[in-house]
Amino acid sequence: MQTERLIFRKYTKNDFDLLFEMTHEPNMMKFIRHGGPWTKEETMQSLEKFINWNKDDKGLFLAFNKEDNKLIGTSGLIPQIIEGNDELEVGYWVVEQYWGMGYGYEQAKAWKEYGMDHLKQKRLISLIQHGNVGSMKVAQKNGMKHEKDVDIIGKNVAVYSIEVK
């Protein structure tokens, strides 16, 4: 899949260094999972999970700039269970040096359209930790509305959602 500026590809076992480049950055990981940099072990476990998700064309995919092939972030449709319900989350991370350039929205919009048009999903969510104002703005711009707050791994998280009626 691609957008105007980005090309996406599935994770492979050779992508540990690319993933760790993102997951060891404190500012980037501030609002992801436990809120701090990941260890090499956490990163490897996540890489294996991403590769398994990708087998079903879901999960996170690497996003690269088409012009120079630089890593911009990772994004995709992440299987989640929220309050006992299977959900599909539009998730997106942007490498810090590219914050504020519209890459978060570009990724989120592409995955929302893919989920609704290609996968025929009637509902998608985004899970956003409180304080992550940038991601909340991206979700709203992507047509999502704050639905509720839930507790996930000990954190109170906002659930943004969009539904096709």
Whether residue 165 has pLDDT greater than 80: no
* pLDDT one-digit tens code per residue, 93-123: 999 999 999 999 999 999 999 999 999 999 9
Task: Report helix, strand or coil for 92.
Answer: strand
pLDDT tens string 68-91 = 999 999 999 999 999 999 999 999
- pTM: predicted TM-score of the whole model, two decimal places: 0.91
Of the pLDDT bands very low, low, confident and very high (cuts 50, 70, 90), residue 28 is confident
What pLDDT sits at residue 158?
A: 96
Q: Do 128 and 86 touch, CB atoms closer than 8 A?
A: no
Q: Count Cβ atoms below 10 Å from residue 62 Cβ, excluding itself.
A: 22
% of the chain residues with pLDDT over 90: 85
* Three-class DSSP category at 12: coil
Residues pairing with 127 in the sheet: 159
Contacting residues for 101 by C-beta, under 8 A, at least 6 apart:
none
The residue behind tokens 């990724």 is: 107
Q: Enumerate the domain spans of the chain.
A: 6-163
> Is the distance from CB of 11 to CB of 54 less than 8 angstroms?
yes
CATH superfamily name and code, 6-163: Gcn5-related N-acetyltransferase (GNAT) (3.40.630.30)
